[in-house]
Structure 1
């Protein structure tokens, strides 16, 4: 265990709103051990930005970690040559060029189909009725698991995310995660004989990856490619509707939906944490880490670091977000970043505001989570 100063938290309060505790950590103990999480947290942006790249110390290889045990050893749980080799094989499915030329029309068609069904209703829950199916349809295409329903895709992603954050060892959470991974394996098996061109399944098979790696990486893509875009779509729309003066900036051409998404991802990081295992003894910021220590890189805290963002608790789409590391900063920078930006900023946000006239909030939007964070419901209405 590291010799970091100890910070106690209330798990329920931290899940409901982690930002007050994270601000307290950044100010008083930016590298701190939290007994309730069984990990040492790095909370300042610059520490995370530097240490994430030092994979010889803060390793992604976690053979006994929850993600590896539940989902298999995917490329996110590998470093160095092993990680780079699998990332290169997957790249043709998610490259910026592939996204713009191949996936963007698919995303737009799917989002319009969802809106065709929603528009006559006059109201919905943005999370379940719009953001979820839009995100799921995009992910079905990218993974190649086109026979999954949106509900199956969303449920499998949530079950895996819950499993990977199940540090309390809840047996029901583990059971649901195993059921989700079995469902994904079933759908992989259905597509093995004819994987859709350019899909993650197709390019990995063409690249000669072992089937165990293909399965693990597909699960990784789902766990990182469904809930996070879903929550960012619904969350960014909520943020703009809650700050009408900022939405007006977009309408006047003084800002863009890309600005809104970048600011939302800084402000409410959909991926709030990434775990690491200490591979060798080292000292950072006066804290000595021992081999085997569990470390959490708190991206949700980095986005509100006062050293880089003035009035960091305020949503402001005019802000310079260049210092934000919402998609990571090191060799594990999110491989799906281009697809996420395209789906959210170029398709889901503008289409929602264009097609749902006089879109407005119709109730409270509760948020939850610290490792993964987003709204659990965003009720809205619009004019018919």
Structure 2
């Protein structure tokens, strides 16, 4: 078992706002065992950046991990050749060229339709009514599950994310996750004949074309959904909130002195939609003064890395003009997010500019609460505009 210094947390307070606790960890116990999570946390950016690449020790293969148990063994839970083989098969669906030529025009058309319906109303919940359907419609295309309603895509994604973060073992959360994965399987089964008849560039289709077995294909579609719905949804709404609460920086983007990409990258550093990535210790190791034993659980805290004082001045402040280069919001090692190009295109070339272009005088109309530490985002965001 890990002999790292022990840090106790209040799980409720940590879910409400993990950043003060993570700052204390970085300052005093940068590698620390948290009994409430049953894991050793790495909290400094450079340590995470270096150790994430040591897959012989910090393995993504976690047969007893929550993601594997609940969603199946996807490529994120494989290392080495097994991971690279599936990543290569899936790559055509998520490559920068496919994103540019296939998905970006479709993303734009879907977001435009959503705004056509939304704009006359003059108010909405930005999370539920804009960020959620924009993200879901994009994900329906990328996965190939065009037979799934946007609200169901959001529901099943949230159910899987809640299940994978259920380290306290709440049985109701586990049951909900199983219900969500069963829904995904039904939608996959319904789409297979259509995609056999008319293949396309979707994740389901390219895996079928690449000869990947159905069990692995199902698991990878669930992985795409778990990482491709809530995180872009939360980043779209969250970045809009950040800009509305920092009007001088919003003005800089609208004046052309900064870009939507700068705003998104800074938001992802500041309030990391994906806060951590788990690893299984595959072999005993002594690292950074800590002894780790086989089967220990490690969490690489990307959210903490984004606020590491060694790389970012005033890290608790939102500043689109800072250099976000050291941030590792999408990961740093061989498991760097395969959907990063699609996510960046959707958020910075479609969702953000179109929202501010179409919703004239967009402004906040109430409180915007944030929750989560493994995954973090706003739960609601009331806004209004001049219709």
TM bracket, shorter-chain basis? over 0.9
Q: How big is the shift at 1:56?
A: 0.3
**Counterpart in 1 of 2:256?**
253
Match runs of 1:1-384 below 5 Å: 1-195=1-195, 197-384=200-387
TM-score, length basis structure 1? 1.00
May I ask how many residue pairs the two structures share in their alignment? 384
CA distance in 2, matches of 1:296, 1:191: 36
Q: Could you say what secondary structure the match of 2:278 adopts?
A: strand
SS in 1 for 2:193: coil
CA deviation vs aligned residue, 1:191-213 (integer Å, no higher than 9, x gap) = 10122510001100011001000
Quote how far apart the aligned CAs of 1:251 are.
1.3
Alpha-carbon offset, residue 10 of structure 1? 0.6
Whole-angstrom CA distance in 2 between matches of 1:16 and 1:174: 21
SS at match of 1:192: helix
Q: Deviations over 1:72-93 (max 9, x none)?
A: 0000000000000000000000
**Whole-angstrom distance in 1 between the partners of 2:123 and 2:102:** 32
Aligned equivalents of 1:8, 1:202: Cα separation in 2: 46
1:58-84: per-residue Cα shift (whole Å, max 9, x none)?
000000000000000000000000000
Following TM superposition, the consecutive aligned residue runs of length 4 or more in structure 1 with deviations greater than 6 angstroms are: none
Cα distance per residue 1:154-177 (max 9 Å; x no partner): 000000000001111111101110
* DSSP-derived class of the 1:276 partner: strand
- Cα distance in 1, alignment partners of residues 266 and 168 from structure 2: 32
2: CA distance, partners of 1:300 / 1:62: 22
Unaligned runs of 5+ in 2: none
How far apart, CA to CA, are the structure 2 residues paired with 1:173 and 1:253? 45
Unmatched runs of 5 consecutive residues or more in structure 1: none
CA distance in 2: counterparts of 1:161 and 1:252, whole angstroms = 37
For 1:277, what is the secondary structure of its paired residue? strand
3-state secondary structure, aligned to 1:146: coil
Aligned partner of residue 64 in structure 2, secondary structure: coil
Post-superposition shift, 1:252?
1.4
1:283 alignment partner, SS class: strand
Deviation track 1:232-289 (CA, whole Å, cap 9, x = no partner) reads 0000000000000000111111100000000000000000010000000111110010
